[in-house]
Amino acid sequence: MLQVQNIEMRFGGVQALSGISFEVPPGSIMAVIGPNGAGKTTLFNVISGLYRPTSGSVLWEGQDLTRVGPHRLAGLGVARTFQNPQVFEGATALQTVQIGSHRFAHRGLISALFRLPAYRREERTLRERSLEWLDFVGLADAADMPAAEQSYGAIKRLDLARAIASEPRLLLMDEPAAGLNGAETEQLKRMIQAIAARGITVLLVEHDMKLVMEISHSIVVLNLGQELARGTPAQIRSNPSVLAAYLGAESLEAA
Ligand SMILES: Nc1ncnc2c1ncn2[C@@H]1O[C@H](COP(=O)(O)OP(=O)(O)OP(=O)(O)O)[C@@H](O)[C@H]1O
């Protein structure tokens, strides 16, 4: 269970977030939405350990993520994707995904240097697992191609495969649909649903209202750093203050 508890974030005189609390039950999909400047990115950065909040905590399986720092997330079963993922120059698609699974590598330097059988076995298993995740995001054919030469949409899918390869129990997604076309967003929707169906908890920050309405079990609407509304897609869609004041009837009706 992810529990966001009374988060407050101040940047100098700017109150970016105040009194933000919600829970995400295991295996469910929760979306954070809101107009520009609402505080979504700030909240995402707090939950993913990038920002230390002014006050409040983010509990994941009893651990406070605001105290551990982003580099320790994988060890706690937490992974994140990026709005604009960077890939290593010269790395293949498969190698990019393997970066995600490397935390499962137990063999040390000596066995790597001498390529001992146990090391080779482990390498083969990690490679096979990474190939499975590449296949999951529809990129099996690109395994040995340079990651950097993939399309923007494919690099985002690669980033998702990298995150999932660490076998997280919680997946944080920063604007997964940004920059994707309709077909790619539809594919993303099925992937997120498949991920949640495996029992992985998903929290996403997203602007694409159609996607949010279709996949979320629960939605938090932020405005000016505060919670404006929270509920199921149907509740949010018919919430007059959300509709009228912040998202605009058009974008919700289109969803
Ligand atoms: N590092 C920072 N220093 C000062 N103010 C900041 C900082 N980061 C965010 N803010 C302010 O906090 C508020 C919330 O910004 P945030 O980027 O979290 O909103 P958002 O909902 O993600 O917006 P968008 O949809 O445009 O990405 C804004 O007023 C912003 O100017």
Strands (E), 37-142: 55-60, 63-64, 78-81
User: How far away, in angstroms, is 219 Cα from ligand 1 center?
Assistant: 20
Contact 183, 226 (CB under 8 A): no
| Residue to probe by mutation, ligand 1, list 7, 9, 14, 209, most atoms within 8 Å of CB | 14
Those residues with Cβ within 8 angstroms of residue 11's Cβ, 6 or more apart along the chain or in another chain = none
Which atom of ligand 1 is least distant from the CA of 9?
12
**d(C-alpha 49, C-alpha 51), whole Å:** 6
Q: Report DSSP state, residue 245.
A: I
Predicted pLDDT of residue 252: 56
Predicted pLDDT of residue 51: 94
Contact 232, 47 (CB under 8 A): no
Predicted pLDDT of residue 44: 96
Does the pLDDT of residue 124 top 70, yes or no?
Answer: yes
Those residues with Cβ within 8 angstroms of residue 157's Cβ, 6 or more apart along the chain or in another chain = 137, 138, 139, 187, 188, 191
Those residues with Cβ within 8 angstroms of residue 53's Cβ, 6 or more apart along the chain or in another chain = 7, 8, 9, 17, 46, 66
**d(C-alpha 147, C-alpha 93), whole Å:** 5
Does the pLDDT of residue 35 top 60, yes or no?
Answer: yes
The whole-number average pLDDT for the span 144-160 is 95
Instruction: Tell whether the torsion through CA atoms of 125, 131, 132 and 137 is positive or negative.
Output: positive
Residue 76's identity, in one-letter code, is: L
Predicted pLDDT of residue 249: 44
**d(C-alpha 251, C-alpha 207), whole Å:** 10
Does the pLDDT of residue 203 top 50, yes or no?
Answer: yes
The whole-number average pLDDT for the span 136-165 is 95
CATH of domain 1-77+168-255: 3.40.50.300
**d(C-alpha 172, C-alpha 192), whole Å:** 11
The whole-number average pLDDT for the span 191-210 is 95
Number of H helices, E strands in the chain: 10, 10
Does the pLDDT of residue 250 top 60, yes or no?
Answer: no
Percentage of the residues of the chain whose pLDDT score is greater than 70: 88
Q: What's the maximum distance between 2 C-alpha atoms anywhere in the chain?
A: 66
Q: What phi-psi label fits residue 19: left (phi over 0), alpha (psi between -120 and 50 degrees) or beta? A: left
Q: Report DSSP state, residue 243.
A: I
**d(C-alpha 5, C-alpha 118), whole Å:** 45
Ligand 1 — pocket residues by CB below 6 A?
A: 11, 14, 16, 34, 36-42
Predicted pLDDT of residue 116: 64
Does the pLDDT of residue 40 top 90, yes or no?
Answer: yes
The whole-number average pLDDT for the span 225-230 is 94
The whole-number average pLDDT for the span 42-50 is 95
Ligand 1, atom 26, lies closest to the CA of 36
pTM of the predicted protein model? 0.90
Ligand 1, atom 12, lies closest to the CA of 16
| Residue to probe by mutation, ligand 1, list 10, 18, 42, most atoms within 8 Å of CB | 42
Contact 181, 89 (CB under 8 A): no
**d(C-alpha 193, C-alpha 68), whole Å:** 28
pLDDT in tens, 60-116: 998 999 998 888 898 899 999 999 998 888 899 999 998 877 665 555 556 566 666
Structural domain boundaries in the chain: 1-77+168-255
